[in-house]
Structures are given as structure tokens and as C-alpha cells.
Amino acid sequence: KNQVEQSPQSLIILEGKNCTLQCNYTVSPFSNLRWYKQDTGRGPVSLTIMTFSENTKSNGRYTATLDADTKQSSLHITASQLSDSASYICVVSDSGGSYIPTFGRGTSLIVHP
Amino acid sequence: DSGVTQTPKHLITATGQRVTLRCSPRSGDLSVYWYQQSLDQGLQFLIQYYNGEERAKGNILERFSAQQFPDLHSELNLSSLELGDSALYFCASSVEEAGGLYEQFFGPGTRLTVL
């Protein structure tokens, strides 16, 4: 069964600090991995999309990495801001023809001033 | 604002009832995706339509059905509602038929409460 596990479940950091969120998956065959940011009560917003051949992708202060051999991804947030407080969700799609996405449960990040 | 609109924003109904959620994709997007987000299950993919045709199916219950109309708007029909159907229902749209390599733009969601 395809699964996506994220850690930590929640994280509290001080404004200006960096942090790294983890995503492990067992989705096979692999198509792509996406990271989303979701503010409470709102729709997710795409941060990065990576395919098998990509191992790093950046979007401003957000940098995602992918190790397809170990089936792990990380999302690094640099110089955190109060507006980074949100849930970060890892999504992995298979390539079995329909590209069905499997969602992680997310990491809830709180940035304190 | 993602450009994807969903109506209604909130819906309160009783068990056993039937409701219809509506989604209008971004201009130019041919694909519409439906997702369910509940507290205990997280986000789950329900179904995708591309240019009026069903393209991919996820964990969608038989009590649920969807369609995409010629003007590309989509409706998700939920029937014989149960307490466990209470959730946020999101619609997303993108330009691509399949692959997930293009960004999906999410609407603001419809919060369904079943009493």
C-alpha cells in the first residue's frame, strides 16, 4: 500500500531560525513529489514539484530535496517568518497510469516572534 | 486568490440527505480534481476529470459522484450522508491531463457539516 510519512508532526521555532521537515514514502512506481503549504482553513498552495531526476528545487526561502534511492524528501525553510506558520504537506504521485496522489498527514509549523 | 471558485463555502445538513458542491476551475484549466480533508484522515484524493471525462479515481465512496460539464465547471454530489462525511472538500484545477507535473491550484473549499 502506498504511504507517505511526515515528521515531525509539529514544530515550534523562533522567527529568523531555519528548520527542516521530513517526508518518507513507499509509493511505487514513483512519478513526482510535491510540497504544499496550507494555512488553517484554506486550500493548499504548491511550493515545489520534483520528478525522479531532480534532487533539489528551490522556491524563495523554501528548498526541497529528494533522494529517490532512499525514498526520502526534505523541505528546508530558511530565515523563518511569522507567515510561515502553517501545515506543510508532502504528496507523492505514482506513475501507474492514473498518477494517483498519496498525501502525508503534514507537519504543523508554528513560528514565534 | 487562486482563481478557482467553490460554492457554497459552508453547508450544514442532516444524515441521509444529499448535497451538491460546485467548482469553477481557473480560466484555461481543463482538469478538475476533488479532495476531501477530514481531521482523522487528512487530505485524500477523490476523483479527477479532464475536459469532461473521468481521468483518475481515488478513494471515492460509491455514495459520492462527480461530473464535469461542457463549460468545465464540476459538481461533486454526496448522497446518503453520514456523520463521517463531515469534512472540508477542496477542488483544484490544472492545465494538464495527467502526470501531476504541473501546479494544481486549490479553491477555498466547502466545509460540510453533517448533523
Question: In this complex, which of B55, B58, B103 lies closest to A49 when CB atoms are compared?
Answer: B103
Q: How far is A1 from chain B (nearest CA, A)?
A: 13
Of the candidates A94, A90, A21, the one whose C-alpha atom is nearest the C-alpha of residue B42 is A90
Quick one: pLDDT at residue A80?
97
Average pLDDT over residues A43-67: 95
C-alpha cell, A4: 507517505
Whether residue A1 is predicted with pLDDT greater than 90 in this model: the reply is no
Q: Do B100 and A105 touch (CB under 8 A)?
A: no
Of the candidates B86, B45, B51, B54, the one whose C-alpha atom is nearest the C-alpha of residue B69 is B51
The answer, for A34 touching chain B at a CB cutoff of 8 Å, is yes
Write the CB contacts of B95 (distance below 8 Å, at least 6 apart in sequence).
B28, B29, B30, B31, B102
| B51-79 pLDDT per residue, tens | 999 999 998 999 999 999 999 999 999 99
Question: In this complex, which of A41, A46, A99 lies closest to B56 when CB atoms are compared?
Answer: A99
| B6-31 pLDDT per residue, tens | 999 999 999 999 999 999 999 999 99
**DSSP designation for B3:** S
Q: Do B109 and A104 touch (CB under 8 A)?
A: no
Residues A62 and B8: their CA atoms lie apart, in Å, by 33
Quick one: pLDDT at residue B102?
84
Q: Which residue in B has a C-alpha nearest to residue A44's C-alpha?
A: B106
pLDDT-above-90 percentage for chain B:
87
DSSP for A24-77, please give it: EE--SSEEEEEEEEE-TTS--EEEEEEETT--EEEETTEEEEEETTTTEEEEEE
